[in-house]
Chain A
Amino acid sequence: MSTPASVTTELPGVLAGDRPRRPARWVRRLLRNPLSMAGTTIVALLVGCALAPGLLAPFPEDAGPSVHFDRAAQPPGPAHWFGTDEVGRDIFSRTVFGARVSLALVVAVLGIAVGVGVPSGLVAGYWHGRWPSTALMRVTDVFLAVPPLALALAVTAAFRPDLGSAMLAISFTWWPWFTRLVYGEVLARREEPYVEAARALGQRDRVILFREILPNVISPVVVKATLDVSFVILLGSSLAFLGVGAQEPTPDWGAMVARGRTFLPGHWWMSTMPGLAIFVAVMGFNLLGDALRDALDVWER
């Protein structure tokens, strides 16, 4: 069991010890394993695609309003690595730009899920036994009882089926998992000696929550968030496949797979290439998440 972070930082310098300037243990563990190296590389590449797609895409204008009917439906070749679609746009370039949509979705969804889930979990866990906590956990149970895809679809039916709705819908279904995780963690640490000590010293509840408990809860939340990235990408692309995704001409992997289906099996590349991107992205984040979990040495719940 690791020492609670707050205790070591409160102690005077000598007792805390001057920690040596080496990269943290978890970073070293991360880079040791070939699988985790692969994961890190893939994720780095994806982030690169999202931040600077213009550098990597040979035909960046094809991610915007442009049509070239003269080069429509070309199979993969030297000029167009992934081929072109039915209005002549380069699929490789569009796939690179598609990373942006997926990662934006991830940031939005996990941002909201953590932003809502962690505080509610803290509150529910700390004041466990009182009725607000129980009520909150019952609400969480209800949300957890509905399969995410079905609920997300039902929610998007209430709005226009575009990327914003997808973000909202998935966040709607995601926050309970974080609440439950944090709730469990808080329950476990509530009776720890250092918490009792803080209470005995007269610290207010709110301060205890944020100073003592929260820092120790961050680790599992980070791990879960990273592992969740791949699920969010999968869910997002599934929704886009079913029709709830970014609007044309913005490239969205799931939507590209769905539109390409009309042209199977003759023009197979229109569906298979973007699908490949989804697969690689999900796998990359999976590997990274696994590696991070091992490196941070947290018990799996």
Chain B
Amino acid sequence: MREFLLRRLLQVVPTVLGLLVLIFVVSRVMPGDPVRLALGPEATRQQIAAYEEKLGLDRPLPSQFGHYVAGLLRGDLGESIRTYRDVRLDIRDFLPATVELVTVALVIAVCLGVPFGIVAAMYPNTWIDNLSRLVAVPGVALPRFWVGILLQVGLAYQLGLFPIVGRAVRAPQTITGLYLLDATLTGDGGALLDAVRHLALPALTLALPTLAQVARLTRAAMIDVLKRPFMLVHAAYGVPPRRLVWRYGLRNGLTSVLTLVGMTYGALIENAFLVEVVFSWPGLSAYGAAAVLAKDFNAVVGVTLVVGLSFVLANVLVDLLYGYVDPRIRHN
């Protein structure tokens, strides 16, 4: 098991390195004078040259890259030309909001989607199954930004059930930056309720298409598992149907579900971009989108790096779980 773990982690290194190169090249190649934008239109040539020199933009690309990687290893992500401070600090401030949103959405999608899919698989072609089809088919097609707008107009503007935008009116004391966790840890009931109310619509918007996807694929995987000979054998031995499904069926169907969860997390992270814009959620993607528009290259690289790394990590985690669940894989 340990050997498998090591092997898998080692495979990550060239991928991450490649990722760095790719993003760095794209960001530096960006034509644009972010320096001029930051300094204002009336900046003189000397002022611009001075700032460029300070940021190291006058050196050749490979040298800049080396400089950047060295900085990365030190924890220095470069200065943002919009906020005038290390990108690392900006990311530290904005990442928790996105993490919280994505995690809650993932929980919703999996905790609702998987059981839904299992139940549909258990009773194929009944009304339950058809209901799941009715939700799943259009569900996957829903553009997230559109769903967000619809929910916002309907439930927030017109009915006033939820706040329209933002993350909180009363933020809890900052410990981790995750409002739900912080509010619970500090026993702040008001802040907890506030955070939940603000989280509801964005998380739901983010989760819906994924929920449909999860339900659909779980159903397919479970149907496949339920057909297998070993299930028949257990049934013949008299194992009750519910236990059959949940205990025996699920464990074998788990691998497909796990892949799904891994893929899902990645998709959720990147789709958070759209949801954050609609709900003015102060997360990494709002920061990233503004950085792209301002050609704040250090920030763009920093954000893409973080998102890319989480993608990679999510995949690694899934592979490791795979290896844990299915012995055939880790001894291959």
Query: Which A residues are closer than 8 A to B by beta carbons?
Result: 35, 138-139, 141-143, 145-151, 153-159, 230, 234, 237-238, 241-243, 254, 257, 261, 264-265, 268, 271-272, 275-276, 278-279, 282-283, 286-287
The 5 closest A-B pairs by CB, nearest first: A142-B18, A275-B146, A147-B270, A283-B141, A282-B141
Interface residues on chain B, number (Cβ under 8 Å):
50
Judging by beta carbons under 8 Å apart, are A147 and B26 in contact? no
Which of B27, B146, B312 is within 8 Å of A279, CB to CB?
B146
Judging by beta carbons under 8 Å apart, are B157 and A146 in contact? no
B45 to chain A, nearest CB (A): 24
Q: Is the interface of B mostly helix, strand, loop or mixed?
A: helix
Judging by beta carbons under 8 Å apart, are A279 and B270 in contact? no
Q: Using known A-B contacts A142-B18, A272-B150, determine if residue A257 contacts B273 with beta carbons closer than 8 Å.
A: no
Query: Which B residues are closer than 8 A to A by beta carbons?
Result: 14-16, 18-19, 22-23, 26-27, 29-32, 137-138, 140-146, 149-150, 152-153, 157-158, 266-267, 269-271, 273-274, 277-278, 288-289, 292-293, 295, 300, 303-304, 307-308, 311-312, 315
Cα–Cα distance between A278 and B150 once the two chains are bound (Å): 14
Cα–Cα distance between A261 and B145 once the two chains are bound (Å): 11
Q: Is the interface of A mostly helix, strand, loop or mixed?
A: helix
Query: 13 A-B Cβ contacts within 8 A?
Result: A35-B137, A138-B14, A141-B18, A142-B15, A142-B22, A145-B308, A149-B270, A150-B307, A157-B27, A257-B149, A261-B278, A275-B143, A283-B141
Cα–Cα distance between A52 and B31 once the two chains are bound (Å): 38
Cα–Cα distance between A153 and B308 once the two chains are bound (Å): 13
Which of B145, B149, B292, B308 is within 8 Å of A146, CB to CB?
B308
Q: A145-B16, A153-B288 are in contact. List 13 more A-B contacts (CB 8 A).
A: A138-B18, A145-B311, A147-B307, A149-B271, A158-B29, A238-B143, A238-B274, A242-B274, A268-B153, A272-B146, A279-B141, A282-B141, A286-B137
Cα–Cα distance between A48 and B30 once the two chains are bound (Å): 38
Cα–Cα distance between A147 and B303 once the two chains are bound (Å): 12
Q: Using known A-B contacts A242-B277, A275-B143, determine if residue A150 contacts B26 with beta carbons closer than 8 Å.
A: no
Q: Which residues of the partner chain A approach B152 to less than 8 Å between Cβ atoms? A: 264
Which of A35, A147, A282 is within 8 Å of B143, CB to CB?
A282
B28 to chain A, nearest CB (A): 9
User: Which residue of chain B lies nearest to A230 when distances are taken between CB atoms in the complex?
Assistant: B141
Which of A139, A148, A276 is within 8 Å of B270, CB to CB?
A148
A190 to chain B, nearest CB (A): 19
Judging by beta carbons under 8 Å apart, are B141 and A141 in contact? no
Judging by beta carbons under 8 Å apart, are A155 and B145 in contact? no
Judging by beta carbons under 8 Å apart, are B292 and A154 in contact? yes
Q: Using known A-B contacts A158-B31, A265-B157, determine if residue A151 contacts B149 with beta carbons closer than 8 Å.
A: no
Judging by beta carbons under 8 Å apart, are B15 and A286 in contact? no
Judging by beta carbons under 8 Å apart, are B23 and A242 in contact? no
Cα–Cα distance between A272 and B143 once the two chains are bound (Å): 11
Which of A148, A159, A265 is within 8 Å of B158, CB to CB?
A265
Q: Which residues of the partner chain B approach A145 to less than 8 Å between Cβ atoms? A: 15-16, 18-19, 308, 311-312, 315
